[in-house]
């Protein structure tokens, strides 16, 4: 029994010393925030919540599981971007370009996506409750 307790204590201690892994490239995050130009950047898992990214160039960027909650993405170009599992809750993304973007399993709850360009976008499993989709080409049920 003492051996089992010793292993458990050792495991808990080791786990508390583990630093969470971050996938984003810090230089890419800095470049995006300074220039709003980051085509092809690795921003996976980055916390970009409440950031001002008006007109940002994020073509082919990796934003998988990124936090973009309440970010201003108005007019941004996210053509071909990977936003799988990203949090865009409450984001302002009117006139955004999402052509061929992967939004699988993302949260678009209460996001403003009016007039978004979405040709070829993947929205499987995306949560669009309360989102403004006027003029976006994204249809929810019905005929």
Residues 6+ apart with CB under 8 A from 60: 39, 40, 79, 80, 81
Q: Where are the alpha helices (DSSP H) in 42-133?
A: none
> What pLDDT, in 10s, does the model give residues 74-120?
999 999 999 999 999 999 999 999 999 999 999 999 999 999 999 99
In this prediction, residue 143 carries a pLDDT of: 47
Average pLDDT, the chain: 87
Does residue 70 carry a pLDDT above 60? yes
Q: How many CB atoms lie within 10 A of CB 69?
A: 20
For the chain, the helix, strand and coil percentages under 3-state DSSP, each to the nearest 5:
20, 15, 70
- Residue 20 is predicted with a pLDDT of 43
pLDDT tens sequence across 108-134? 999 999 999 999 999 999 999 999 999
Helix (H, G, I), strand (E, B) or coil at 127: strand
Inter-residue contact 82 to 106 (CB < 8 Å): no
22-143 is classed in which CATH architecture? 3 Solenoid (2.160)
């Amino acid at each position: 029994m003492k051996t089992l307790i010793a292993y458990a204590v050792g495991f808990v201690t080791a786990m508390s010393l583990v630093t969470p892994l971050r996938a984003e490239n810090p230089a890419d995050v800095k470049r995006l925030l300074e220039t709003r130009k980051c085509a092809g950047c690795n921003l996976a898992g980055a916390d970009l919540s409440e950031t001002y990214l008006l007109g940002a160039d994020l073509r082919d960027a990796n934003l998988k599981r990124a936090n973009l909650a309440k970010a201003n993405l108005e007019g941004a170009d996210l053509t071909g971007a990977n936003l799988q599992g990203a949090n865009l809750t409450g984001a302002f993304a009117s006139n955004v370009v999402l052509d061929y973007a992967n939004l699988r399993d993302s949260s678009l709850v209460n996001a403003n996506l009016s007039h978004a360009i979405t040709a070829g976008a993947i929205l499987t499993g995306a949560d669009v409750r309360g989102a403004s989709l006027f003029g976006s080409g994204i249809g929810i049920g019905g005929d």
